[in-house]
Every structure is written in C-alpha cells, then in structure tokens.
Amino acid sequence: MPLLSNFINGSWQKSLEHNRVPVVNPANLETLAEVACGQETTVDVDNAVKAASAALNDWSNTPVMERVKPLYQLRSLLEEHKNALAETITLECGKTLSESLGEMTRAIENVEMACATPALIQSEFSEDIASGIDEFMIRQPLGVAACISPFNFPGMIPFWFFPYALACGNTYIIKPSEKVPMTMNKLFSLIEQLDLPKGVINLVHGSKESTNALLTHPEVKAISFVGSSEVAKYVYATAAAHGKRVQAQGGAKNPIVVLPDADMEMTTKIVVDSVYGCAGQRCLAASTIITVGGASKGFREAIADSAASRVTGFGLDQGVEMGPVITPESKQRIENLIQQGINEGAKPLIDGRSPRVAGYEKGNFIAPTILENIPRGSELNTTEIFGPVMNLMHIKSVDEAINFINSGRYGNMACLFTSSGSSARKFRKEVKAGNIGINIGVAAPMAQFPFSGWKDSFYGDLHGQGRHAIEFFTQTKVVVERWPKDWSRKF
C-alpha cells in the first residue's frame, strides 16, 4: 500500500514510517493509501519549518505583483484538474461528486481573491500630519505560517489561508487531516509545477503529534486551525502561549427557524439540503429545525417525505444524493446519539440507522433521520452530531426561538424562513451567530467575506478569507517621516 509522501523544500520526501495509518474509503472501507502518524512526524515538521524559514527572506522581498503570479498559474491548473481533485475528495471523504466539485469551486474563488492582494495590501498614508511630516502604515509578512485542517473539506479549507499567506510574503506549511490526506498530495502535484521557489510552500502529514510540533515550533509565527471546538480551544491556547498569532475555527450546532408565513415549498427543499448536504458533516449544516406557532402544520410531513426520498450511496455513483459518514466510529457515535434521543423521549419521524446500500454493505452509511421533540435539557440539543440527523422542535414565538438559539454554546450560523421583513430584521440583529441566512441556507461565504463564527465556534480575532486574511497574514508598521524643504541643500 503506498505511503503518502510529504512535500518539503520543493520535492517529495518519504516520511519516517513507524506508525502507518490507513486512509479508507468510507463507502466500502477499502484502504486507499497509508499515511504516517506518530512522534516521527515531528521530524518532518521540523524539516518543513527549516525549508520554509530558509525560503522566507527571498520570498518576502519578492514584489507582491510577482508573488501573485504563481497563483494565476495555480488557478488554471485547478480548473484543468478540478474533476480529478473532486474524485479524490469523494473517494476519501465520502461526499457526492457534485459536492466535491462545489468544494473545489470555492477553493478556486479563494485563489482568485488572493490574486487581488497587490490592491488589498495597500495601506493608509497621511501627508503633512504636521508641517513637513508624513505618516504611513506598511504591511509586512509574519514569517512561517501553517494551517491544520479537518476531514470534512479536504480540498477547500487550506485555501481559506495559504493563497493569502503566500501573496502577503509568508512561507507556508499545510497539515491535512490524517483521515483525508490524499487530496492535498494531489494538489501538491499541481503546486510542484508552479514557478515558486523551493520551500515557499510545504506539505506535512500526521495527526496530533505533527499539530503539536507546529503549535510549539519557535520558527512558526502564525497558525490557522479548523476542526472540532475541543481541539480548536486547545490549539488557540497552546499556539498563543508559544507567541503565535492564531485563528481557530471550531464546531457548530446550527438552527433554522421557520415562521408560519414562510414559503413552505421552498423552505422544505432548502432545509433538507441544509441538514443532509455532505451527510450533515458541514460546520454550516443545519441541525435543529425550529417551527414557530402554526408553521409545523404540514411542514413536518413534507420535510419527512423529502428527507426520506434522499438517495444514499457511494458518492461517485450516478443519482446518489448523500454519501456515508467518515468512519465506523463516527457512524457508531451518531447511532448511539439517535438511540439516546429516543430513550429520552424524542419521536423518530424517520430513523435512518443502518440502511442497506446495495454493493456497499460495509460502508459507514446512515440515511436521513429526524428526531422530533428532543427534551430541551437533553445533551442532544447542545452536542454537535455531525451526521444526517435533524432535531425537529416546535416553539411558540420568535422571541422564544431566539432565546433558545442564544443559550447554546456555539454560534456558527442561524437561518430564518419568513415573508416578514421585521421578523427577519429582528432575527439578524439579535441572534448571536457569525453567519445568518434569511430565506436561504448558509454555505461557506464567498471569498471576499470573512468566514465568521461566534462563541465556541471560533477562537481568535481575524478570520480566514478576503481582507481578514490579508490582515491576519501581515503585521503593520507605522512610519513617521520628516523631510524639511531646505534639507536637500545640505547634501
């Protein structure tokens, strides 16, 4: 079985391989490759940091217009190889091919946005703050930066960070999830073709050991993390304690509120897509659906019919609308949570545990599930399930719905479906979440916007993408200069 290589200092390098972990297709549990994990990977990290440090001086002194040129090349290569990248995502991550293609589209948009860095990095200049004195601010790179990414968007998430980091003059290291490492190897087979000096961008594999090596390495100046809140909180604290700039995106428990005046046909379709897209393994997936007042009438039946008709299977097969969850452990955890909800008094409107998917009997499949009326105090109302499970609840008023949402620990996204402008305005103003949808499910924001998140969904200050990324990957220097008119006569 092939062991995935690292890409360090411009070439493919074999990892020390004491602890090989299989990379598994979640639809049939076949091993696709192997990846190195364990203590030895800290040596790989050290080698990658050395390469990135050595490349830093020349790269940070390269004019920004030159630094974005490889990004234009990357954009063309990504368009050309988008299908192959998407197929790899589906194979190792399980989502459908169209979901994987959508992921790559978002990745490309971030490359396009980062190509605007020459304009975005420009700063303020004040002439004559006093007679003959000017003051201005410049943005300079931080140094070596790194990202640590989760399993659910292996192709997109590193793109929230690295194109901007490189364009701003930093050098970079990507550490993908050990569950889905193949997509980045495929991407680096394209990066290898760019006119980039060696060491400017590097790939290292591994799990918590390589993460820790990055968080504590004195030469790494910035960390971008995306994953579960427990690890995000740890990453934030550890990297900050080691003097690094950190942004750490965490988990979620996202609500959608449906008012009686909503367009129910449109709402049903969008809610089902939002809950079951990527088998619920999206940090912006809706998890709790709250109907207010009379909105439940007819809606619960429509939503159950629509969810039950969703075709579950292997993401590369035609007609499949939902893939498996990532691991057998994940499937077991989600099925246990469903049972816990039922034991606590929730009613299973549809129960998708252990569906039979012909030809993929070993796969980690769970079909769409709806639990109605999980008791308010239940752990299921606060735990991130990260699977195709909808918690359907009924509440009397918008105020009660907003209070319920704001009492939760997460704040990634919240949506409202209504035809009332004043209800929509109240909702977007009062709900404590970083992404709001009105009559639309929330997908990852376009690249010109920051990927926001509140409460336990985000630790840090500046987010990924767009202007926030430019700010995150640069440090400001304010210069004040005096050039009296008559000085030139002295020289």
Q: Would you name the residues annotated as active-site residues?
A: 283
CB-based contacts of 193, cutoff 8 Å, min separation 6: 73, 77
Q: Contact between 227 and ligand NAD (CB under 6 A)?
A: yes
CB of 157 to ligand NAD, least distance (A): 6
Q: Which of 70, 251, 323, 368 binds ligand NAD (CB under 6 A)?
A: 251
Stretch that binds ligand NAD, among 19-27, 208-216, 304-312, 355-363 (CB under 6 A): 208-216
Stretch that binds ligand NAD, among 95-103, 196-204, 244-252, 272-280 (CB under 6 A): 244-252
Stretch that binds ligand NAD, among 334-342, 373-381, 449-457, 466-474 (CB under 6 A): 449-457
| Closer Cβ to ligand NAD, 227 or 363, answer by number | 227
Q: Map 92-104 to HEC letters.
A: HHCCCHHHHHHHH
| Closer Cβ to ligand NAD, 59 or 151, answer by number | 151
Cα gap 219→198, rounded to integer Å: 18
CB-based contacts of 164, cutoff 8 Å, min separation 6: 110, 113, 114, 117, 465, 469, 470, 472, 473
Chain residues 143-172 in contact with ligand NAD, contact rule CB under 6 A: 148-153
Cα gap 254→453, rounded to integer Å: 11
CB of 439 to ligand NAD, least distance (A): 22
Binding characters for ligand NAD, 266-295, by CB under 6 A (x = yes): -----------------x------------
Q: Contact between 451 and ligand NAD (CB under 6 A)?
A: yes
Q: Contact between 178 and ligand NAD (CB under 6 A)?
A: yes
| Closer Cβ to ligand NAD, 295 or 334, answer by number | 334
SS3 breakdown of the chain: % helix, strand, coil, rounded to 5? 40, 25, 35
Cα gap 7→45, rounded to integer Å: 11
CB-based contacts of 365, cutoff 8 Å, min separation 6: 27, 312, 313, 324, 325, 331, 354, 355, 357
**Facing residues of 171 across strands?**
144
Q: Which residue is nearest to ligand NAD (CB)?
A: 227
Stretch that binds ligand NAD, among 15-23, 203-211, 265-273, 397-405 (CB under 6 A): 203-211
Q: Which of 143, 250, 341, 408 binds ligand NAD (CB under 6 A)?
A: 250
CB of 151 to ligand NAD, least distance (A): 4
**Exposed / middle / buried, residue 3 (Cβ in 10 Å: 0-12, 13-18, 19+):** middle
Beta strands in 271-310, from DSSP E residues, in sequence order: 286-292
Nearest by Cα to 449 from 470, 468, 472: 468
CB of 208 to ligand NAD, least distance (A): 3
Nearest by Cα to 463 from 449, 475, 477, 483: 449
| Residues engaged in binding ligand NAD (CB under 6 A) | 148-153, 177-178, 207-208, 211-212, 226-228, 231, 249-252, 283, 384, 386, 412, 451, 453, 457
